[in-house]
Amino acid sequence: MDYRPELVGGQLAVDLVNTVAWRLDERRRVDRIADPANLRKWLTAAGLGPSKRLTARELGEVVRCREAAYAVLRPLAVGVEPAAADLVVLRAEIELAVRKASLVSAHPLTWQAATVVDELRLAVWRLFEDEDLGRLRQCDDDDCGWLFLDRSRNGSRRWCSSADCGNRARARRHYHRHQTGTTA
């Protein structure tokens, strides 16, 4: 099926983590960027541009960075402390990119990543540096598993997408109400 990237995470690194669909249901889980053509689509949608074809090794690096980020972000999204070992792995990813990055401007402070993969690693760094991770949430759907920064004023966002998971939940509630109505 035609892949149309959905960027609902609110930040590049969160959107990267969301390139796995149905993360919490292993029978349905799909890695959307396992296909290089889809990865290019995602990079373009994310504003990183299809500057060049990523090699198989780079694709592997993107996935490794994504999983390192997910291992730390998921616990944070559900209010649990990340494992120390996972933090070490994520730190190594960030260090890899920072070591190669150049500072193009001191004011405003602007880092230039050396590669597209490094751009994603720096996005993870920026997520921790710039964002309030107390607003990081996991979609309320049982199987979805997508994460997002809840930027709503009262912190009430429940779904990755109200048109998608939110809609399904509403349909389910409606169905159950209907069912109990007829059996009662």
**Given the complex with Zn ion, which of 69 and 145 has the nearer CB atom?**
145
Report the interface residues with Zn ion, using CB under 5 A: 139, 141, 144, 146, 160, 165
Minimum distance, C-beta of residue 167 to Zn ion, in the bound complex (Å) = 10
**Kindly report the CA angle at 78 between 173 and 159, in degrees rounded to 5?**
35
Decide: helix, strand or coil at residue 112. Answer: strand
**Given the complex with Zn ion, which of 23 and 41 has the nearer CB atom?**
23
| Dihedral angle sign, alpha carbons of residues 114, 39, 131, 81 | negative
d(C-alpha 88, C-alpha 110), whole Å: 25
Minimum distance, C-beta of residue 140 to Zn ion, in the bound complex (Å) = 7
Minimum distance, C-beta of residue 96 to Zn ion, in the bound complex (Å) = 30
From the list 77, 58, 40, the residue with the least C-alpha distance to 121 is 58
**Given the complex with Zn ion, which of 22 and 111 has the nearer CB atom?**
22
